[in-house]
Chain A
Amino acid sequence: KQEVTQIPAALSVPEGENLVLNCSFTDSAIYNLQWFRQDPGKGLTSLLLIQSSQREQTSGRLNASLDKSSGRSTLYIAASQPGDSATYLCAVNFGNEKLTFGTGTRLTIIP
């Protein structure tokens, strides 16, 4: 069964710190992986897309890595800010067009 797991479910860090969010998936034959941000009661904002042939993608203070062989991806956030507080979702496309989502990590940045 193709599954996506995100641990921890919640994370609190002081403002200014760098942090890493984790995502693991059960099938290494993925097509691509997306990281999203969801604010309470809102929709999903796509942050980064990594194709299976890539090892990392960067956008501003965000860097996402992909290690297919170990079934893992990480989202690195540098110099965290209170505005980064949100739920971060990892979603994997296993090649069948639909995204399989993790349950997310709820991030709180403490001012």
Chain B
Amino acid sequence: NAGVMQNPRHLVRRRGQEARLRCSPMKGHSHVYWYRQLPEEGLKFMVYLQKENIIDESGMPKERFSAEFPKEGPSILRIQQVVRGDSAAYFCASSPQGSGGPNEQFFGPGTRLTVL
């Protein structure tokens, strides 16, 4: 059973370009979470999705950031018009559908975004 997969592992963009980060959850997992780790800071929650639904986006910046988890295919975190402050490691996690509440989250290797 493959773990959580993220690609690309490293992404370089120039200011103003778009960044698309992909996450494939573990097989059988229907919950996806995105977290961001800024340089020298802790991980911060961004968004929680289930298939075709955004459940909690309270950690997402109000502008330029969006996320989706379609019925088929990976979850996508999209950053439009990137700025240098978006440079960070973006981690995806997945968990199985819970029977009584939150389950253990399994993390992918992350995508390291560098904005020039």
The answer to whether the Cβ of B41 comes within 8 Å of any Cβ in the partner chain is: yes
The answer to whether the Cβ of A79 comes within 8 Å of any Cβ in the partner chain is: no
Would you call B105 and A104 a contact (CB within 8 A)? no
Would you call A97 and B41 a contact (CB within 8 A)? no
Which residue of A32, A43, A95 is within 8 Å of B91 (Cβ)? A43
Which residue of A44, A46, A97, A101 is within 8 Å of B102 (Cβ)? A97
Would you call A43 and B110 a contact (CB within 8 A)? yes
Which residue of B33, B44, B48, B101 is within 8 Å of A95 (Cβ)? B101
B108 partner residues in chain A, CB cutoff 8 A: 43
Would you call B33 and A99 a contact (CB within 8 A)? yes
**Which residue on chain A has the smallest CB distance to residue B48?**
A97
Cα–Cα, bound, A97→B96 (Å): 12
B110 partner residues in chain A, CB cutoff 8 A: 42-43
**Which residue on chain A has the smallest CB distance to residue B100?**
A31
Would you give the 0/1 interface string for A3-44, flagging 1 where the beta carbon is closer than 8 Å to chain B? 000000000000000000000000000011010100001111
Count of chain A residues with Cβ under 8 Å from any Cβ of B?
Answer: 24
Would you call A44 and B107 a contact (CB within 8 A)? yes
Would you call B104 and A46 a contact (CB within 8 A)? yes
Which residue of B31, B41, B45, B101 is within 8 Å of A31 (Cβ)? B101
A34 partner residues in chain B, CB cutoff 8 A: 104-105
Would you call A36 and B59 a contact (CB within 8 A)? no
15 more CB-based (< 8 A) A-B contacts, given A34-B104, A44-B91, A97-B56: A41-B112, A42-B110, A43-B110, A46-B106, A97-B55, A98-B48, A98-B56, A98-B59, A99-B105, A100-B45, A101-B35, A101-B42, A102-B42, A103-B41, A104-B42
Q: Which A positions have Cβ atoms within 8 angstroms of B?
A: 31-32, 34, 36, 41-46, 49, 89, 91, 93, 95-104
The list of the 5 closest CB pairs from A to B, nearest first, reads A43-B109, A98-B45, A44-B107, A103-B42, A101-B43
